[in-house]
Amino acid sequence: MKYARKPRAEQVESTRGLILDTAERLFAEHGVIAVSNRQISEAAGQGNNAAVGYHFGSKNDLVRAIVHRHAEPMTGIRRRLLDEFGGSERVRDWVVCVVRPITEHLADLGNPSWYARFAAQLLTEPNLRDLTAAEVGDLPSLHSVFGGLARVLPGIPPEVRVERNDMAHTLILHFCARRERTLPLGVDARPMWRMTESSLIDALEGLYRAPVGGNRLNTPAT
């Protein structure tokens, strides 16, 4: 027999969602390091200034929860693309698998959104970047995408592929953060995100196809 969810559980879930939304916005606007758990609790209208700690624990735990909340829908998009392009021999198809999970998710969030600016913040602090990598770095769908790129770019050394994957990730997040920040409020952002996606795919296909110069350090792949 299926029982209805208790009101208390619904209240807790609603409060957690409100805190996540508020934290994401404040982090995006002011930076993760600059915003305290107390400020988040106050901005979320919580009478208890320790609400963030009660529901999530430390600030790192809160950041991890925001990352996880967005990683799930992006993983769903990536899996759909892998079903479509998994056997492709075209570099561009694999670049689509790198870019579209992010741009399509941002379009789905509506306007305004804060995720791209929040995610870009995580790139600027080594500890936060490591935290994010630990949360999403082992996703099988990501490994499949980068494995597909490696297969269709056999002439690119492994250490160069790792470097270019990092370049691609940095470019996507910072370019999307800029786009998100400049979107006019109250308009349908989907056409703009489709244009953003197309621009990124063009640029990153060029990045992955670029010749490898001879003057390189012997840096091992990571």
The pLDDT value recorded for residue 109 is 97
Neighbours of 163 (CB within 10 A): 16
The 8-class DSSP code of residue 6 comes to: P
Percent of the chain residues topping a pLDDT of 90 = 77
- Tens digit of pLDDT for each residue in 66-93? 999 999 999 999 999 999 999 999 999 9
Average pLDDT over residues 182-189: 94
Average pLDDT over residues 109-120: 96
pLDDT at 4 over 90: no
Average pLDDT over residues 184-208: 97
The pLDDT value recorded for residue 125 is 85
Say if CB 74 and CB 144 are below 8 A apart. Answer: no
Of the candidates 158, 96, 113, 118, which has an alpha carbon nearest to the alpha carbon of residue 34?
Answer: 118
Regarding predicted confidence, which is higher, 216 or 167? 167
- Tens digit of pLDDT for each residue in 21-51? 999 999 999 999 999 999 999 999 987 778 8
pLDDT at 112 over 80: yes
pLDDT at 169 over 50: yes
Estimate to the nearest angstrom the gap between the alpha carbon of 168 and the chain centroid: 12
Global pTM value = 0.89
- Tens digit of pLDDT for each residue in 118-166? 999 999 888 888 888 877 767 899 999 999 999 999 999 999 999 999 9
Cα separation of 164 and 210, whole Å?
Answer: 10
pLDDT at 215 over 70: no
Q: Tell me, letter by letter, the H, E, C secondary structure of 114-164.
A: CHHHHHHHHHHCHHHHHHHHHHHCCCHHHHHHHHHHHHHCCCCCHHHHHHH
The pLDDT value recorded for residue 76 is 96
The pLDDT value recorded for residue 124 is 85
CATH topology of domain 10-57: Arc Repressor Mutant, subunit A (1.10.10)
Give the CA radius of gyration of the chain: 19
Cα distances from 46 to residues 12, 17, 51, 214, in angstroms, run 12, 12, 7, 58
Looking at every residue in the chain, the average pLDDT score rounds to 91
